Amino acid sequence: MRLDKFLAHTGFGTRKGVKGLIKGKQVMIGDTIAKDGKQQVKPDVDTVYVRGEAVKYQEFIYLMMHKPQGVVSATIDNVSQTVIELLQPEEQLVGPFPVGRLDKDTEGLLLITNDGTLAHNLLSPKKHVDKCYQATISGIVTKEQQDRFKMGIILKDGFNCQPAELEIIEVDDAQQQSEIKITIHEGKFHQVKRMFEAVEQKVIYLKRLSMGPLKLDEQLALGEYRPLTEAELELLTEYK
């Protein structure tokens, strides 16, 4: 790997920006002062120092975010703030992206990484990765609707959804609202909202609780994030 790419990936700025570090003789490869950003380094063999401090190289990052409402699950957006903009500048430099999308008005678990293979496998329709949501529904959700979801809802555009598990948590007759949990095994655009539209009801609040083996850390406040733990990374091994 080129030295300038290595430094950019470890949070020392763009390739252009790290030229100043190298020119100022502040970068060493082992015990040798680096002279050019084009020099090759082997992250698993060479030790790179910046201003005398050893640099730890990490090819991939894996972050769990508690996505808030009003933020877009995208890398770039010309109108709204994106989840990537919530990250630290050095984390943004390694090319992270959200794994799948949560609607702008949806909260909850969002995995952010730069591991394309993991993202592809988690989102692949062939993998049938479970996604569990908590939702508030305008209207009274019934046992009959539970059965319809279990059979597979047909959306208004004719798409036949895979069977979903619908759990009724609480029904408020006075407010004419229902609290539910729903687990789906695919990830079509606005799927949960469209499934309830198909039974003439509306989702008024939606939060993703889990994706595959990952569960939202409820200690994360809205907008906060943290690296995945070793145990969580181990759970994702089959998708890498």
Active site positions, annotated: 103
Query: Cβ neighbours of residue 41 under 8 Å, at least 6 residues apart?
Result: 1, 2, 3, 6, 29, 48
Distance in angstroms (rounded) separating the CA atoms of residues 200 and 184: 19
CA atoms within 13 A on the CB side of 225: 23
| Sign (positive or negative) of CA dihedral 111, 116, 118, 120 | positive
Question: How far is it, in rounded angstroms, from Cα 77 to Cα 84?
Answer: 10
Can you name the residues that pair with 137 across neighbouring β-strands?
178, 203
Sequence length of the chain is 240
Q: Are 34 and 3 in contact (CB under 8 A)?
A: yes
Q: How is 7-70 classified by DSSP, letter by letter? A: HHHTTS--HHHHHHHHHTT-EEETTEE---TT-B--TTT--EEETTEEPPP-S--EEEEEEPTT
